[in-house]
Amino acid sequence: MDCTTTNAPAERKFTAKDYDSKLRPIWCPGCGDYGVLQSLYRALASIGRPPHEIAFISGIGCSSRIPGYTTAYGFNSVHGRALPIAQGVKLANPDLLVLVAGGDGDGFSIGGGHVAHAIRRNCDLTYIVMDNQVYGLTKGQLSPTSPRGLKTITSPYGSFEEPINPLLYVLAYGAGFVAQGTPADMPGLTALIEEAIRYPGFAFVNIQSPCVTFGEDDQQLRAHKAKMQKLDTLGHDPSNLLAALDRARAYGTELHTGVFYRNPEPPPTYEALVKLRQAELAKSAKPRSQVLEAFVQR
């Protein structure tokens, strides 16, 4: 008998369709979020985790509909509060792969205060922001990343404010993985999302996902194809934080895609530190009988 043979079932290979809930998206035709969703399916298939081992947490907005379009566990939370809820999920069940989806308004306006703390805690989360520089779901108001001068229904004179730079924002707070992509480059976006998921710690992916209804025009994806510059072809070193900060300054004027920064020596995650501390306490703890006896003798 050949001892190398086994009757154990072969490990299942997942495809993008395994993560598709069959619930049809109701985004506007041509919305960039369709491409983001397809890239997510493909990245998850490459990761190979079954849907029941994945949790997708979102806030409120067009982008935050994504959990319902996947077969993973989903939680559509309160506006701007996806990150703290995702941290709670990860700490409650560290074995889950936890993804967070949101938009530029959801993430950098009402939810902006949570970003810094999620980064400093370094929970093993992948935060995907669909950045369209406008509030799409609530009909086109200015968002934190709207460019100066943009005219919307609530800013007929054009925006007087400078936009937030999400890339500089998260880099300055110490995020260990920072990348930017566009659905105009589906293979590149898929690879970025997969790499972010595999990074051991907090990972941030800013996706330039155009709003075709309230954005500047309906040809933005075509413009992305012509405008985007891949960081790896520019000789960028993603292990160089200062270089990443310098490249990130071009947000809003140039479209750099790829990994801006990847910490070459990732620090331990928050949940790993919790697990380590629990093990230390359990090792040093007195037997329950001794604890009870000491209590009785007080």
Predicted confidence (pLDDT) per residue in 20-72, tens digit: 999 999 898 888 899 999 999 999 999 999 999 999 999 888 888 999 999 99
| Extents of the domains making up the chain | 16-266, 268-298
CA distance 90 to 270: 10
pLDDT category of residue 288 using cuts at 50, 70 and 90:
low
pLDDT category of residue 286 using cuts at 50, 70 and 90:
low
Segment 270-296 mean pLDDT: 78
Of 152, 110, 157, nearest to 133 by C-alpha is 152
Measured at the CA of 28, the angle between CA 22 and CA 32, to 5 degrees, comes to 85
Question: What pLDDT sits at residue 181?
Answer: 96
pLDDT at 8 over 90: no
CA distance 70 to 23: 8
CA distance 103 to 129: 5
CA distance 182 to 224: 7
> What's the pTM?
0.89
Please tell me the class of the 16-266 domain: alpha beta
Q: What is the mean pLDDT of the chain?
A: 89
Helix spans in the chain (H): 33-47, 82-92, 104-105, 112-121, 166-173, 186-198, 220-227, 241-248, 270-284, 288-296
